[in-house]
Amino acid sequence: MKKILPFGFRRGSGAGWRYTLHLDEDPKDRFHFECIECLYRHIFHEWNLMKLGAMFCHSDVINFGNLPYTDFRRTKTLCQGGDCCDFDFIRHDTDAGDGWERSKSV
């Protein structure tokens, strides 16, 4: 993810989307970024369907919540009233047996 997503974002993320990446700040076992503009938020806000937007946000938890050896943490989303959607991926060394538990993301 740390290599593929930034490569894709270089060409732009499409109309209605904007992201802030933190590639230089992250250690090798972490990748985090924020979505600061979301097409879904624009559409659902206009139609007063923000609860439906929150369901779309939850699909990220479903998609990323069970990645092997990786914890996905999210504390806020635009469709749930946050100032951004935060994406935080922490890679764990399974050989070390550190006994990590998956985070409960919103």
Instruction: Judge whether 42 lies within some domain.
Output: yes
Instruction: Judge whether 105 lies within some domain.
Output: no
Distances (CA, A) of 95 to 5, 12, 43, 68, 103: 26, 37, 45, 13, 20
Instruction: Judge whether 102 lies within some domain.
Output: no
- Provide the residue range defining the domain that includes 49: 4-96
Instruction: Judge whether 106 lies within some domain.
Output: no
pLDDT over 90 percentage in the chain: 54
Mean pLDDT computed over every residue of the chain: 87
Please state the domain count of the chain: 1
Q: Is the pLDDT of residue 96 over 60?
A: no
The pLDDT score that the predictor gives to residue 97 is 57
Instruction: Judge whether 101 lies within some domain.
Output: no
Q: Is the pLDDT of residue 95 over 80?
A: no
Which residues are registered as beta bridge partners of 37?
A: 18
Q: Is the pLDDT of residue 25 over 90?
A: no
pLDDT band (50, 70, 90) for residue 105: confident
Q: Could you give the CA distance from residue 46 to residue 79 in angstroms, rounded to a whole number? A: 12
Instruction: Judge whether 74 lies within some domain.
Output: yes
Instruction: Judge whether 40 lies within some domain.
Output: yes
Q: Is the pLDDT of residue 49 over 60?
A: yes
Instruction: Judge whether 19 lies within some domain.
Output: yes
